[in-house]
Amino acid sequence: MNFVRLGWIVFLAAIPSLLSAQSGTSADTSGSARRLKELRAQIQQLESEIATSRAQETDLLSELDNLDQSISLRQLVIKTLSREREQLETDIQQTGRQIQRRYRELSRLQGDRTATKRQVDALQDVVVRRALYMYKHWNVDRWTVLLRARSLPELLSRQYYFRKIHHWDVRHIAELTEQVDSLAAIESRIEAERLDLQSDLGRQETSRNEKERLLTQKRGEESALVRKKSDRARVLADVRNDREALKRQLEETRQAAQEIEKQIAALAARPSPAVPPPGYFASGQPFAALKGNLPWPVTGRVVARFGPYKHPILGTVTDNTGIDIEAAKGTPVRAASDAMVGMVTWLRGFGNTVILDHRDGYYSVYAHLDEVNVARNDWLRAGDAIGTVGETGSLVGSRLHFEIWNKRDIQNPELWLARSPYP
């Protein structure tokens, strides 16, 4: 098995799909399930290779490399599950607020219904009593009242008031009809709100159950991660006591450096990167002008400098193509300058590796990362987090391997970085 190639398949497939889960305001359940299924399939493949290595009791470095990749993938799974749980918690809270609004709206509508019902009852009582009176007395009383008028003006006045009473009756009947229709509309809205409320409550309950399911999965992945880290520590101890394994690891590091050179040559040969979004490279200052003033990608002590490097155990002298900065695992690693992400990959000897394209033929390399927070073609500003310090591909603890390239010429990073606070 070509483990470098395997690493490319694993991480180029996993990281961009993971990061795309951050976009959107609601949890994409089917998409997340698919991504998790892919990650777990990759983990299962690595577990199979780890078991094969153990059964053959050979190639500790391969087992260590597979364990590193398995740990990284499990961390991606845990991060994905955590993000889904956070999104579900947001959805639950939003649904809870919607439910409270619906309760308040129901209460208001029920109050409107009560008031409207009283108005309808009152109007019905008046209209019914008027109708009964008109039915019994209108023809007789009307003419009696009119004929008892003592003058024409009084007759006209009484006729005027009869019209007013008639118009009053017509208006109240219209009001009654309107209020009855309004009451029917309120009843319809109340029923709709009740149905929506039942739907919201059901969705909230489903979300809570899903949240608990994800929590159970997350705890299971965390337990598996603890076991894998314990396995890694055991294998790492064996490798450190195996001179042949250490020699092979040096060779893998050399091959990783060659692979980096090939990737940078490929990046240099491709068409010019897309125009950056507004705000990137805003200063207009070329990367070359930053020499001696670049911010450090991580705060730490340089434990392996650029150039010839003597292995502390083997005594073998090799060329270090960058510098190694010792820092606590999980420390943020930041872009040295504005850039586009040119490559995200996994390399035996370097582990999780990111290459940034700073334009004008300048590139920076960040290796041994624990978590990777960027994807290929992302745009970054100086100081943006790329990932975190880790020990993937390392036999000597957590550190960042950092390189700077000018086209295909490797540079001494310490000549480019600002003065270090560490000796």
| Same-fold call for 18-241 versus 248-423 | no
Output the pLDDT for position 156: 75
pLDDT of amino acid 60: 64
pLDDT of residue 44: 67
pLDDT value at position 397?
Answer: 83
| Pair 330, 370: CB distance under 8 Å | yes
254: left (phi over 0), alpha (psi -120 to 50) or beta: alpha
Estimate the share of the chain in helix, then strand, then coil, as percent rounded to the nearest 5: 60, 15, 25
So what's the pLDDT on residue 292? Answer: 92
In the chain, what are the domain boundaries?
18-241, 248-423
Nearest CA to 359 among 257, 293, 270? 270
With the CA atoms of 287, 289, 293 and 296 taken in that order, what torsion angle do they form, in degrees rounded to the nearest 10? 10
pTM listed for this prediction: 0.59
pLDDT number for residue 6: 43
> Is 225:68 a contact under the CB 8 Å cutoff?
no
DSSP element (H, E) containing 324: strand 323-326
CATH annotation of 248-423: 2.70.70.10
Structural fold of domain 18-241: Helix Hairpins (1.10.287)
- Tell me how many degrees the CA angle 393-397-399 measures, rounded to the nearest 5: 75
Residue partners of 64: CB distance under 8 A and separation at least 6: 232, 235, 236, 239
* DSSP code string of 116-183: HHHHHHHHHHHHHHHHHHHHHHHHHHHHHHHHT-SSHHHHHHHHHHHHHHHHHHHHHHHHHHHHHHHH
Residue 3's pLDDT is: 40
Q: Give 334's Cβ-side CA count (13 Å radius).
A: 15
* Two tokens, residue 306: 């650029």
User: Can you read off the two tokens belonging to residue 353?
Assistant: 């590796």
Gap between the Cα atoms of 12 and 43, Å rounded = 14
Residue 275, pLDDT score: 76
- pLDDT, tens digit only, all 423 positions of the chain: 444 344 434 444 444 444 444 444 444 556 666 666 666 676 666 566 556 655 444 566 676 677 677 777 777 777 777 777 787 788 778 877 887 877 887 787 788 778 777 877 777 777 777 667 666 665 556 566 666 667 777 767 766 776 777 677 777 777 777 877 877 787 788 788 778 878 877 777 777 777 777 777 777 777 776 777 777 677 666 666 666 666 777 777 888 888 899 999 988 888 766 677 777 776 678 899 999 999 999 999 999 999 988 776 667 788 899 999 999 999 999 999 999 999 998 888 898 999 999 988 999 999 999 989 898 889 999 999 999 999 888 878 899 999 999 988 999 999 999 986 665
